[in-house]
């Protein structure tokens, strides 16, 4: 699956795509999965509930956000790949999602396992897309995207959050 062109996603998403190196997409996706699990496994336990400022998420909440976003965008990738360009998909309100989940008592390994399960599903979806399917569009109301743009976004989105964790939490 080729890298998406800039017209296949909103310009405001460019910073996510800039974080994804040139390489075979499936290799990038699998490597990103491994790196993400290893990254979270290395975080010291005393940092998991740390907030770098009032109103900011904890590291466990960031991981839950990554999981929720992966689920939402994987479904959007499926909708695109199956040719469903008419069903409208509205903006994911990440603050609403975060407000309605409590990870304070969940062990980190539980969140990591959930991420791995969700990501495995994404990997299986993208392993079986044809090039033609990767070019089909999802009707995200604010910014339609192709299936391949959605796939690349998911890698860049995680890399974005790992960078923030590194810079602001650790």
Q: Taking the domains of the chain in order of start, what are their residue ranges?
A: 6-168
Q: pLDDT above 90 covers what percent of the chain?
A: 100
Residue pLDDT, tens place only, 30-87? 999 999 999 999 999 999 999 999 999 999 999 999 999 999 999 999 999 999 999 9
Could you write out the three-class secondary structure of 74-131?
HHHHHHHHCCCCCCCECCCCHHHHHHCCCCCCCCHHHHHHHHHHHHHHHHHHHHCCCH
Which pLDDT does position 114 carry in this prediction? 98
Instruction: Look up residue 165 and give its two tokens.
Output: 């964790």
State the pLDDT at residue 15: 98
pLDDT of residue 136: 98
The one-character DSSP state at 140 is B
With b meaning 16 or more CB within 10 Å and e meaning fewer, what string describes 53-73?
eeeebbbbbbbbbbbbbbbbb
- Rounded to two decimals, the pTM is 0.96
| Mean pLDDT score across all residues of the chain | 97
Matching CATH number, 6-168, of 1.20.120.450, 3.40.50.2000, 3.30.70.100, 3.40.50.300:
1.20.120.450
Contact 123, 33 (CB under 8 A): yes
Other C-beta atoms lying within 10 Å of the C-beta of residue 160? 16
Q: Which residue has the tokens 């109301």?
A: 141
Distances (CA, A) of 87 to 32, 54, 84, 144, 162: 30, 37, 6, 11, 32
How many other CB atoms sit within 10 Å of the CB of residue 112? 18
**Confidence band (pLDDT; 50, 70, 90) for 146?**
very high
């Amino acid at each position: 699956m080729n890298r998406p062109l800039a017209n296949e996603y909103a310009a405001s998403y460019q910073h996510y795509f800039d974080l994804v190196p040139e390489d075979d997409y499936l290799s990038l996706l699998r490597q990103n999965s491994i790196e993400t699990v290893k990254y979270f496994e290395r975080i010291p336990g005393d940092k998991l509930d740390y907030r770098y400022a009032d109103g900011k998420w904890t590291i466990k909440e960031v991981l839950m956000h990554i999981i929720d976003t992966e689920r939402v965008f994987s479904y959007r990738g499926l909708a695109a790949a199956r040719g469903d360009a008419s069903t409208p998909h509205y903006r994911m309100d990440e603050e609403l999602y975060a407000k309605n989940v409590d990870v304070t008592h969940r062990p980190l390994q539980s969140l990591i396992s959930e991420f791995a399960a969700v990501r495995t599903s994404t990997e299986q979806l993208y392993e079986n897309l044809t090039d033609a399917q990767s070019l089909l569009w999802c009707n995200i109301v604010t910014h339609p995207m192709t299936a391949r743009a959605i796939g690349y976004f998911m890698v860049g989105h995680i890399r974005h959050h790992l960078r923030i964790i590194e810079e602001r939490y650790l």
